[in-house]
Amino acid sequence: MQILSGRWPTLLIYYLKQGTKRFSDLRRDNPTISHRMLALELRKLEDAGIVTRTEFGGYPLRVEYDLTAAGHTLVPLIDALGAWWSTVATDAGGDGHETGRGASGSASRV
């Protein structure tokens, strides 16, 4: 369960459920992640056996990422979590993209 903690692992699995993607495709899918963080998160998922990394020789080096069988078993869980969040946010009057910030954009203080 620790492997899925944090901001990026579930998003990366969500993007990879659509099929094989190159590093640049994953950057394009989520432009807010830094190059370094994306590399670290993909390496972490690869070490956990959730993602495979395939290198193709040549210049420039081409690398593709895909979900393993274990990674594909996580897809229904992530889809269910997304559906749950959409329901909760809709019931609360939000649009499903709540950030916990007030109208001014700053975090609420108690």
Alpha helices (H) along the chain: 9-16, 23-29, 35-47, 69-91
> Where along the chain do its domains lie?
2-91
DSSP one-letter string for 14-44 = HHHTTS-EEHHHHHHH-TTS-HHHHHHHHHH
Could you report the per-residue pLDDT of 32-85, keeping only the tens digit for each?
A: 999 999 999 999 999 999 999 999 888 888 899 999 999 999 999 989 988 898
Alpha carbon distance 23, 106 (integer Å):
33
Q: Can you name the CATH fold of 2-91?
A: Arc Repressor Mutant, subunit A (1.10.10)
**Does the predicted model carry a pTM greater than 0.85?**
no
Over residues 17-36, the pLDDT tens digits come to: 999 999 999 999 989 999 99
List strands edge to edge, sheet with 21-22: 21-22, 62-67, 51-56
